[in-house]
Amino acid sequence: MNDQVKCIIVDDENGAIEILTNYVSKVSWLQLEGAFCDPMQALNHLSQNPVDLIFMDINMPDLSGLQLSRLIPQEQTHVIFCTAYSEHAVESYEIPALDYLLKPIPFDRFLAAVNKFQKQAEITPDQEAGKGGSRHQIFIKSGSKIHQVDTRKISLIQKDGHYIIFKIDGKELLSRMTFTQLLELLPGDEFIQIHRSYLVAIPRIEVIHKQFIQIEGKEIPIGDAFKKEFFNRVSFIGN
């Protein structure tokens, strides 16, 4: 196989990630795109950066490997479960997977699993070109539910204590995360922080004043620390 196979590792145990990272480095045609302890971060990464193969643990907090696999387009991405569960127990969930590796994983068993992928995959330049994914789709956990959100529908985002409030087509979605985590997910050319408590979608801005902007009729203050970057980013004509 001449093509590089893009893969990621999703496991909440650092020790397991280290072992798998070492194994991947020994296979010349595998290209590790990232390793994630948090399945939600992996899901958001995948929504904008599709891969060919995922090595995934099953028992993880917030979102199990089984739940995560149901959210991944199976026609584009193959999953190899790396788990402490027996193969028969996992198969009972009827989750499509390329293989099941039982921890602790010996290298020869890992190699057999990736060779199975090599035999099944028929990767061509045309197929690679069709794997675009959407840079506008992100996944947001709110309570016990995970919502897929089109970032083009977000007008503004407000920080309220430890929570983030998303304004999406006139509705609100509440999630617990930081602005730092959020900025890593959003398209950087479409969103900008204008205040320590506000991120806004640039295409949704209706009116700009010296001290505030308006979105959907709501006045949002521009913080002094953010003014210079904001006005450098926003283009306008006239005088």
Q: 137-233 adopts what CATH topology?
A: OB fold (Dihydrolipoamide Acetyltransferase, E2P) (2.40.50)
Looking at residue 233, its pLDDT comes to 86
User: In angstroms, rounded to a whole number, what is the distance separating the alpha carbons of residues 63 and 44?
Assistant: 13
Task: Quick: pLDDT tens for 142-194.
Answer: 888 888 888 999 999 999 988 999 999 989 999 988 887 787 778 778 899 99
Question: For residue 180, what are its two tokens?
Answer: 């730092």
Which homologous superfamily does the CATH classification assign to the domain defined by 5-129? Response regulator (3.40.50.2300)
Q: Give Cα separations from 93 to 24, 66, 89 (angstroms).
A: 27, 8, 7
d(CA 87, CA 85): 6
Tens of pLDDT along the chain (239 residues) come to: 447 899 999 999 999 999 999 999 988 889 999 999 999 999 999 988 999 999 999 989 888 888 898 888 767 789 999 988 775 455 545 677 888 888 999 998 898 888 888 777 654 333 433 344 456 778 788 888 888 888 999 999 999 988 999 999 989 999 988 887 787 778 778 899 999 999 999 999 999 999 999 999 999 999 999 999 998 888 665 55
Which H or E run contains 113? helix 107-120
The structural domains of the chain, with segments of one domain joined by +, span 5-129, 137-233
Q: How many residues does the chain have?
A: 239
Within the chain, what is the greatest distance between any pair of CA atoms?
71
